[in-house]
Structure 1
Amino acid sequence: MVIPILTGYVTITHPDGVDTGTTVQAHVQPETPGVPANGQVNDSPTYRVFVDGLVDVRFNDRIRWDGLLLQVLEQPARYPSPFGGPHHVEVVGTVMPETYVEVLRGSVQDEYGDLIPDETPILTGVPVWLTEQSQTTFVPADMRTTVVRKLTGLVPPETDIQERDRLRTEDGLTYLVEAVTRPHSSVARADLRLDLRLVQTGPETP
């Protein structure tokens, strides 16, 4: 059976958030689940993405294509042109699951006139992909090391999300939006990048 190759545009984002997303033309081919480079068995759908040889795509990058978010779990394969210079890059991306959240905004007065967070969602069913990165940092004042947790999320570019909004997941976790990066692309708008902080755990969270 011949698996078709689809042509379209993909948006590539580095997980460190230094860039604002790059949208390029690509060819995408569905593949069967395999075993990524780290040796862990992967049951998620995978896609092979072909882009121009000059495109900056790296291991652990994220690729948005046709409503799917892929994560690069292998080192991209770069192929030279027979006439010199780079020809194309092949990337294997695995579909990352999305979480659906409610967006909460602002405050209301309680029965005593005090301001409390408004628990009425302004948006529901918003797809978001959450990721956490941990970094060990030495604190000279305390002469010890500590682990800094960095939470980020990606949401569709048209989503109405602002700084200080809160995202509430289906299992009761609540994240505060500390920063919103609105990328710009000459071809298509890239996903919004959110810097998050966990402010409330769910009822079953230890």
Structure 2
Amino acid sequence: MQAIATTRISILRGVTTDAYGDEQDVDMPVYTGIPASLAEQTRRVTTRDDPTPRIVRYATARVPARTDITDQDRVRDERTGAVYTVDAVSSMTNPTLTVDIRLDLRRTT
């Protein structure tokens, strides 16, 4: 891993069906103790339709290459207990070395 790890994470997967037939996430850890560089940031956002500035919070993480993670998985920060949904998984290509995987996250708890 090239990024400096700031925490360890667990990858959560799985869904179940409740009594009404709706799907619910199951916090079943698939992998635990994965080193990650996790950063929460804020950004001031405006649109043409609504020029009132809003503060948007978002999070990104970097995990080691070849980590088995997909979008719509959930990630739990083992240090703080915060849970995030993985919105996107991306990685740059480099012909000489394997690079970290970048995760775009949305905090759920």
- The separation in 2 between residues aligned to 1:97 and 1:161, in whole angstroms, is 17
**Secondary structure in 2 aligned to 1:187?**
coil
The 8 Å contact of residues 58 and 107 in structure 2, kept in 1 or not, is answered as no
Aligned residue-pair number: 107
* Unaligned segments of structure 2, at least 5 residues: none
* 1:103 and 2:8 matched: no
Q: 2:91 maps to which residue? A: 182
Bigger share in strand: 2
Q: Is the 8 A contact 1:127 1:156 kept in 2?
A: yes
Q: State the partner residue of 1:121.
A: 29
Task: Between the two structures, name the one with larger relative contact order (CA 8 Å, sep ≥ 6).
Answer: 2
Identity of aligned residues (%): 36
Give the corresponding residue for 1:166: 74
CA contact (8 A) 1:103 1:167 kept: yes
Deviations 1:108-129 (A, max 9, x none): 224x243210211111111111
Give the partner amino acid of 1:157: A
TM-score, normalised by the number of residues in structure 1: 0.48
Matched residue of 1:144: which SS? coil
Moved over 3 A (4+): none
The separation in 1 between residues aligned to 2:94 and 2:51, in whole angstroms, is 44
Q: For 2:101, which of 192, 198, 201 is the aligned residue?
A: 192
Q: Which has the larger radius of gyration?
A: 1
Pairwise CA RMSD: 1.9
Provide TM-score, normalisation by structure 2.
0.85
C-alpha distance in 1, partners of 2:23/2:74? 16
